[in-house]
Amino acid sequence: MTLSETLRTTITSARRAWSFEELTQAHPAMNRASMHTALRELVEAGEVARTNVPTSKGRSIPYWRHPSIAVNGGSAFDPSAPSRRLKYTAATVAEFVALLPATTATIATALGITSRQVEAVSRRTHAVNIRGVWHPRGTENKAQGSRHMDRDGIDNDSGQQFVAFVASTVTFECTRRGLRLTDAECYDSHLNAECRMKGAPAQCRGCPRGQEQRVEYARGA
């Protein structure tokens, strides 16, 4: 492999730009003058591209990169900076799905990407964001399917709670029947008697205490 071929292979092996110092560190045995000549020939042949990046001191540093790598906000010239246009691989998508459920911050930290890139990957996986947490596709359907709708279209799982009433065990002496009854028994017997239901105690018809029980029940007492 010639010197030019070696440099071309090094430059195109990673999707970033290389400074001359980086190339000399990668190939310490190469002659620096010969490297400059080989780089100039590669640029003239269109096999690599050269870009002069200005520094804060008013100077510029030449970088060499593959022609297909666009100048992307300087990230091509800074290996530690995340590219704005990340090419997501199947592995990236798989790692994203494996982290779910998780927040945007958690995913960004685990994958080393930005919050905007998290949203871009989520579109690839069709993940859904529920109250700030990413979930696998289909989670929202399961959440909706767990809610029970009755025939009238009323959501019975809307978070409503019903109060369970427990009948009082306190009894009183019923003078009409000569028995000790609870208020619940008095109410039921009086109501059945007023409705002339079969088997209802006749003594309970017109009972003022039973009538009082019905009035209190109607008022919600």
Between residues 115 and 5, which one has the greater pLDDT? 5
* Domain residue ranges in the chain: 3-77, 90-143, 171-219
b vs e for 12-24, b when ≥16 Cβ sit within 10 Å of the residue's Cβ? Answer: beeebbbeeebbe
Q: What is the pLDDT of residues 34-69, one digit of tens each?
A: 999 999 999 999 999 888 877 777 788 888 888 877
Q: With respect to CATH, is domain 3-77 assigned 1.10.10.10?
A: yes
**pLDDT value of residue 42:** 93
Q: Are 11 and 50 in contact (CB under 8 A)?
A: no
Q: Are 102 and 113 in contact (CB under 8 A)?
A: no
CATH class, range 90-143:
mainly alpha
Q: Does residue 135 have a pLDDT over 80?
A: yes
Lowest mean pLDDT segment, chosen from 15-24, 132-141, 195-204: 132-141
Between residues 148 and 59, which one has the greater pLDDT? 59
Locate tokens 């520094």: which residue? 55
Q: Do domains 3-77 and 90-143 have the same CATH topology?
A: yes
Q: Are 177 and 207 in contact (CB under 8 A)?
A: no
Q: State the chain's mean pLDDT as an integer.
A: 77
Q: What is the pLDDT of residues 72-129, one digit of tens each?
A: 544 455 544 444 445 556 667 788 888 889 998 888 888 777 777 788 888 888 888 8
